[in-house]
Chains A and B, each alone.
Chain A
Amino acid sequence: MATHSEGRAMALRMLALMLVAGTAGAAQAQDVRIGMIGPMTGPAANTGTAHREGMELAVKEWNEGAGDYVTDQPPQVELVVEDSNSKPEVAIGAAQRLMTRNEVDMIVGDTLHSHVTLALMEMAPQYGVPILSAEPVSSAIADKVLSDPERYALYYKGNYNSDGYGKAVHGFYRWAFENDVVPEGNKSIAFVVEDTDYGIANAEKIGELFEADGWTVAATETTPTGTTDFYPQLSKLRGLDPDILVSVFTLANSGLSFVRQLDEQALEASHMAIFYPTRPEFMEQAPDIADGMFWAALQFSPEITPEHREFSDRIEAEFGAVANYSHAHAYCTMVVALRAVDAAGGTDADAIANEIGGTDYDCLVGKYAFGEDHTVRSGPDAIPLPVAQVQGDTSQIVWPENVATAEPQ
């Protein structure tokens, strides 16, 4: 008796789980259903929420007749949002759920993480569904596509490769030397970067590009994330006297300390700051301590770009949130997806993928066009990574020239 009820209880426990998990939810009839996978929970949930808002706005405008359509009869679109929790295996579950339960015609995701995308892109060949990732930049994704283009025919990467920053910094200085904005000097460059993949990969790429021009890398100093004391690094650099100094931090605090201490040490190098000036906390204090500093990349600037201002107002009206770059990028990625579905004239996966590949579309953050590696191109005439300069109370774009809002000072 005892064994019976025990075995049955256990069987019931397992079956209950299965049954509930298998129940399908009814979805309304729509022409096209697009799934979105992003970090809605976990450490990156803030960014994930921005992505969701950007994409929801794009779909809403599309369905309400305010979209930028390709055909006369654009399909009505339903967006289904799923969480990746910043984990590859969770994203896989989300994708399988979107396909088996919601029967989506296309997936946009992961919206943020490269490592999640590296797993998620496997779903495209396995299930024959087009997948377009949003913000991930890792070049490893593009390398993977190139290693087997046939297998990843349905996958596209909606952001430039991780060497984008390197190319932008290098491109800006080439231009600056030619136009006598910055003196070339002894051709020596130095780095102070955060000890993360992001910091180190950027330093390596920039160093590589300058070395090809005959420059020498005087020093690459790495500091743990969150460092606020840079005197040891700076006094070493003072002895080396580089012509260009590149700093990369993800935290505004580190950036603020670095810029202050750099000012005290009075180095003569041209300083290029990467990433941390995009943080609002940094920019609040920047006018006092960083006047004239170059930084990358100013991709979303409501203060100086009317188009961005106008988008920001739409986000604020819809969600009551202050728009940032992630909103804009997600919005544009979704518009690219919507236009591809529209142009494909149906839900055929190959047709949609073809249309994504053929995208040539100007959106908020630049022109979307994909290369052979299925990756959005970066550069002055594609998605620019604009170099900005702190000028008085605001930052102005000084490079590339076609999007510049001010001359460098």
Chain B
Amino acid sequence: MIEVLGRRPALTLSVCVALFLLISVLPVNDYVLHILTLSLIFAMFASGWNLTLGILGLKTLGHHAFFAIGAYLSAIVAFYGGVSPWLTIWAGAALAALAGLLIGLPILRIRSMPHVAIVTLAFAEIVRLIFSNLKDITRGELGFWGIPPFDPVSFGETTIRFGLGNAWGSYVLAGAFFFAVQAGLLLLLRSRPGMTFAAIRDSEAAAESLGINLSTWKLAAFALSAGIVGLSGAIYAHYVMILTPTSVAGPEMLITLLAIIIVGGAGRFFGPLYGALLLTGSLELLREFGEYRMLLYGALVIGFVFAAPHGIAGLRIGRLRRRDRRGTRERSSAA
């Protein structure tokens, strides 16, 4: 599990939380907070997806559908039902988890990874089309607006507000959710389920022979993964307060998130956070280059994949000293 979690994952997570808190008390401007908020939301999306794509090794490419399901359901219930987003996000996550179970069932029967990829991609396209055709409810591509932000929270004198324009509150909220999810995942992965997932990824045949029920565990992973992605979608919806089927379930979302996972380190616990911070951050830095921005961004992603094939989380400081361990990793991943 060292490969997935790194050494001392709890310490690394604590350092991340400390940095997150430090930034929240520094005089950082709204723009930087917005970029960090988006990074945290996408990092949560990527963490959820990483469960199936990286840690379980299933080539599922349709997770932006769960993001859209979580986002739209939470937005719809909050908008039409007048229910607080603090509650509706859980409905969004639950529906996404259910959808994960449903799409997980046929996928269990498919052994060929390219087919898994195609089935999940097609599923995402169906979800996009559904949201775009439910015009009476979602307004389709015209955009679903009027989504309420999270209700303000008061602590005595101070009131924290959320949603677009309330950069500080939104940053703290996104961070709180992200780190809560990370802590939960860390606990999970360090206990029996984590070992089980890793066993399934390393060798399904061996896992099954030891008494691991592949179907049950894969379905559970699918539901959990979809649920986390759905929750991140719901948080996104109440932050940006506008949804269109293409912006949440379109192919661009897929590519952005895939790049985050690959650059960060697929199958590594901290990969999504590093990837989201680096890619969201660099995309902003590249604004200096105007229309060459996306070109440079693409080059950057390619460069990273070559320089760090195991992602940022797979990089090690003091590489030479630990060449031995590195050799291990490489040989085993080649196996």
Contact = CB atoms under 8 A, between A and B. Distances in A.
Q: Do chains A and B touch in the complex (CB under 8 A)?
A: yes
A123 B32 CA distance: 15
A14 B285 CA distance: 14
Contacts of B6: 6
Given A6-B8, A14-B277, A22-B28, 10 more contacts: A2-B7, A3-B7, A10-B270, A20-B281, A88-B244, A89-B247, A92-B164, A96-B34, A118-B242, A144-B145
Interface string B3-35: 000111001100110010001000011111011
B16 A3 contact: no
B15 A114 contact: no
A83 B287 contact: yes
B91 interface: no
Interface stretch (B98-106, B133-141, B195-203): B133-141
Interface string A8-42: 01110111011011100100000000000000111
Interface string B284-312: 11011011011000000000000000001
B166 interface: yes
A309 interface: no
Interface residues of A, number: 55
Given A10-B16, A115-B247, A123-B164, A41 B252 contact: no
B242 A115 contact: yes
A197 B134 CA distance: 11
Given A21-B284, A138-B143, A5 B312 contact: no
A241 to B, nearest CB: 30
Given A10-B16, A196-B141, A17 B164 contact: no
B214 interface: no
A214 B72 CA distance: 39
A409 interface: no
**Which of B11, B29, B38, B146 has the most A CB atoms < 10 Å from its CB?**
B29
Contacts, number: 149
A382 interface: no
Interface string A36-60: 0000111001000100000000000
Interface string A48-82: 01000000000000000000000000000000011
A41 to B, nearest CB: 4
A388 B165 CA distance: 44
A7 interface: yes
Contacts of A122: 163-165, 241
A41 B274 contact: no
A97 B284 contact: yes
Contacts of B278: 13, 17
Contacts of B285: 20-21
B142 A197 contact: yes
Contacts of A167: none
A78 to B, nearest CB: 15
Interface residues of B, number: 54
A226 interface: no
Interface of B: 6-8, 11-12, 15-16, 19, 23, 28-32, 34-36, 38, 135, 139-143, 145-146, 163-167, 236, 240-242, 244, 247, 252, 270, 274, 277-278, 281, 284-285, 287-288, 290-291, 293-294, 312, 317-318
B281 A17 contact: yes
A140 interface: yes
A42 B252 contact: yes
Contacts of B312: 13
Contacts of A125: 165
B318 A97 contact: no
B145 A45 contact: no
B31 A99 contact: yes
**Which of A6, A126, A138 has the most B CB atoms < 10 Å from its CB?**
A6
Interface string A351-395: 000000000000000000000000000000000000000000000
A21 B35 contact: yes
B290 A81 contact: yes
B284 A83 contact: no
Given A21-B281, A21-B284, A115 B167 contact: no
A236 interface: no
Contacts of A94: 287
B79 to A, nearest CB: 13
A207 B240 CA distance: 34
A138 B167 CA distance: 27
A18 B34 CA distance: 12
B141 A115 contact: yes
B32 A126 contact: no
A127 B142 contact: no
Smallest CB-CB A-B distances: 7 pairs: A126-B165, A115-B143, A96-B31, A100-B29, A119-B242, A17-B281, A100-B31
A87 interface: yes
